[in-house]
Amino acid sequence: MTRRKVIWHIGPVDPGTAFLAEALQSRATELAEHGAAVPTGAWHEIEDQIWQHKGLSLLSTPDIAPADADKIALRLNGLRDLEVHLVLLSRDLPAQVYAGWQAGLQHGSTTSLKKYATRVMDPERSDPQAVEFWAGADLGRILPAWTRAFHADRVHVIATPSDADSTWRSFVELAGLGGLERPAGFVPPSLSAELDPERVLDLTTAWAKLVADRGFDLRGSLIGASTTAAIGGPDRASQLEAVAELLTASTTEIDRLSTELTRLRAENLHLDKKRRKHKRRLAELNAAS
C-alpha cells in the first residue's frame, strides 16, 4: 500500500520564499502527473486532502513558523502516523532582513532600511520590529519548537540561494521532482541589507551548531551564505530600483482589489434591491390572503 508522505515547508517567514505556495498550486496539474498533491484550503480541508490522497503531498505555509506549542501540536495532531518531513528554506540573513523591511513598507512603515536593520540586529531584540522579525526567522527558536517529536532525518534545513528559481529547485528536488520549472509570478527582488558581519556570524554559527547537534539534514551552508552577503551588500541604486518595483506591484494589486470591491458593492446593492422587492411582494401576498 502506498504510504502517505508530506513534505511541508514551515518557514522561516520570508517574503522571498512566500511565493512557493502559489507556485505549487500553479503546477498542481503537472505535480499530479508525478503522483504529488498540493492540498489547499482551511487546515481541516488540507488534512482531509492529505489523508484522501494516499501518496506524496506538498505544503508551503511559512507564516506558521512563529506558532506556539499549542498551535504546533494542533497542526501536527491530524498528521500523526504519516511520514511528515519538515522543511526550512533559509535564505542568507541579509536578504531576509531586507525582505522584512520591504514587507514593512507594504504595510505602511516609514522606517529606513538602516534603522530597521539596526533594530532587528540589536541583541536585546526589544523593538517591536525586532520581535516580529525574529518570531518568524530565528531558527534557534523555530527548530526546537517544531521538531520535538521528529526523527532527525525528517527535518531538512536548506540554506537556499536568494533567487526564486533556486528556492523552487531546492524544494522540488527534495521532493524528488527535479526538472519541473518554476511558474511565472512576482517575487520580491532579492537584495541584502547591510548588517554587522560579526553579529551575522554569531547568529548563523549558533544555528549551524544546533542543526549539527540534532543531526538534521542540512543542505548548503547557513554560515557561508549569510556572512558573504553581509560583507558584500547591494549598492543604493539597486535598492531604490527594487523598492520602486515592489511599490509598483503593490499599487497594481491595490487597484485590482479596489476594482473588485467596487464590483462587489454594486452586486450587493443589486441583491439588496431584489431582496426588498421580494419582501414587499411577500407582504402584499400575505395581506391579500
Mean per-residue pLDDT of the chain: 89
Q: Is the dihedral of CA 240, 242, 247, 252 positive or negative?
A: positive
Q: Which of 219, 234, 249 is the last residue of a domain?
A: 234
Regarding whether 35 and 173 lie in a shared domain, the answer is: yes
Q: Which of 207, 234, 261 is the last residue of a domain?
A: 234
Q: What does the pLDDT read at residue 153?
A: 96
pTM of this prediction?
A: 0.79
- From the CB of residue 241, how many other CB atoms can be counted at a distance below 10 Å? 14
Regarding whether 83 and 31 lie in a shared domain, the answer is: yes
Regarding whether 142 and 41 lie in a shared domain, the answer is: yes
Q: What does the pLDDT read at residue 1?
A: 44
Here the CATH number for the domain that contains residue 32 is 3.40.50
Separation CA 13–CA 28 (nearest Å): 23
Regarding whether 118 and 57 lie in a shared domain, the answer is: yes
Q: What is the mean pLDDT of residues 108-126?
A: 96
Report the share of the chain in percent with pLDDT over 70: 90
Where is pLDDT greater, at 151 or 244? Answer: 151
Q: What does the pLDDT read at residue 236?
A: 47
Q: What does the pLDDT read at residue 189?
A: 72
Q: What is the mean pLDDT of residues 98-115?
A: 93
Regarding whether 271 and 213 lie in a shared domain, the answer is: no
CB-neighbour burial class of residue 186 (10 A; exposed 0-12, middle 13-18, buried 19+): middle
Contact 16, 187 (CB under 8 A): yes
Tell me: pLDDT of 129 over 90: yes
What domain count does the chain have? 2
Q: Which of 206, 234, 262 is the last residue of a domain?
A: 234
Regarding whether 250 and 180 lie in a shared domain, the answer is: no
Tell me: pLDDT of 131 over 50: yes
Tell me: pLDDT of 113 over 60: yes
Tell me: pLDDT of 107 over 60: yes
Ranges 9-13, 58-62, 159-163: which has the least confidence: 159-163
Regarding whether 243 and 230 lie in a shared domain, the answer is: no
Strand partners, 57: 6, 37
- From the CB of residue 131, how many other CB atoms can be counted at a distance below 10 Å? 12
Regarding whether 181 and 251 lie in a shared domain, the answer is: no
Contacts 24+ apart (CB under 8 A), 39-45: 43/75, 43/78, 44/78
Q: What does the pLDDT read at residue 166?
A: 93
pLDDT band at 288 (very low <50, low <70, confident <90, very high): confident
Regarding whether 288 and 221 lie in a shared domain, the answer is: no
pLDDT digits (tens, 9 = 90+) for 188-243: 777 889 999 999 999 999 999 999 999 999 999 999 889 888 887 445 445 544 55
SS3 58: strand
Tell me: pLDDT of 18 over 90: yes
Q: What does the pLDDT read at residue 250?
A: 59
Ranges 47-61, 172-186, 256-270: which has the least confidence: 256-270
Residue written as grid cell 543604493:
236
Regarding whether 247 and 139 lie in a shared domain, the answer is: no
Regarding whether 288 and 257 lie in a shared domain, the answer is: yes
Tell me: pLDDT of 46 over 90: yes
Tell me: pLDDT of 247 over 80: no
CB-neighbour burial class of residue 286 (10 A; exposed 0-12, middle 13-18, buried 19+): exposed
Q: Structural domain of residue 130, as residue ranges?
A: 5-234
Regarding whether 143 and 263 lie in a shared domain, the answer is: no
